[in-house]
Amino acid sequence: MADTVLPRVWLMRALYLGLSGLLAFVHLLPLDTMPPGWAGPNIFLALTFAWAVRRPDYVPVLLVALVALGTDLLLQRPPGLWAAITVLGLETLRNRAFSLRDLTFAAEWAAVSSTLVVMTLAYRFILTILMVDQAPLGLSLMQLFATLLAYPLVALLSHAVFGVRKRAPGDLDTAAGRA
């Protein structure tokens, strides 16, 4: 399945970068300047994790770290902290990707959920210790649950549209990509 011009891995990495840029762009559109009573899902995070569980080589650490730092800067979050936590979560999932490969989707969802919960708690904990102004707890929790609910959808889309599938034994495309 290797592409003739570019290895498929690099195509998918570029696609990941493009999707992240698109998400940031949609977030920045000045459509609604009212303070919302609800918080939507963090699609970028769901996308990153869905790809990390399926094909860890599509989301290299450096790329995710740079994109997450950029989002931190653009979306007015404290710069660096959420990016660092995202990278840690990514590595946790990446290390579990091999054991998750043979399990059902429910197991994968549970793994991602637990990682997300720990990440959110750690983020709020660190901000509290350093006495940084933070968002209301309700909104954070709402965003967490929205992300958890959106995860299966993002995973399905990645699987069906972008062709991000778990590596089957005897699959040769990454070997070809590396060569």
Tokens of 171: 């699959």
Separation between Cα atoms, residue 98 and residue 154, nearest integer Å: 20
Task: Report 76-115 residues binding another protein (CB under 8 A).
Answer: 76-81, 83-84, 87-88, 91, 94-95, 98-99
- Smallest gap from Cβ 71 to another protein, in A, equals 9
The verdict on 57 binding another protein (CB under 8 A) reads yes
Nearer to another protein, 98 or 105 (CB): 98
Contact 97, 163 (CB under 8 A): no
By CB under 8 A, which span of 4-12, 108-116, 128-136, 150-158 interacts with another protein?
Answer: 128-136
Tokens of 173: 């495309």
Residue linked to tokens 């698109």 = 22
Residue linked to tokens 């969802």 = 109
Tokens of 156: 């399905």
By CB under 8 A, which span of 5-13, 54-62, 104-112, 150-158 interacts with another protein?
Answer: 54-62
Binding residue (CB under 8 A) for another protein from 1, 17, 74, 121: 74
Could you give the angle at which helices 61-74 and 81-100 cross, rounded to 10 degrees?
140
One-letter amino acid for residue 69 of the chain: L
Binding site for another protein (CB under 8 A): 24-25, 27-36, 38-40, 56-57, 61-62, 65, 69-70, 73-81, 83-84, 87-88, 91, 94-95, 98-99, 130, 132-136, 139-140, 143
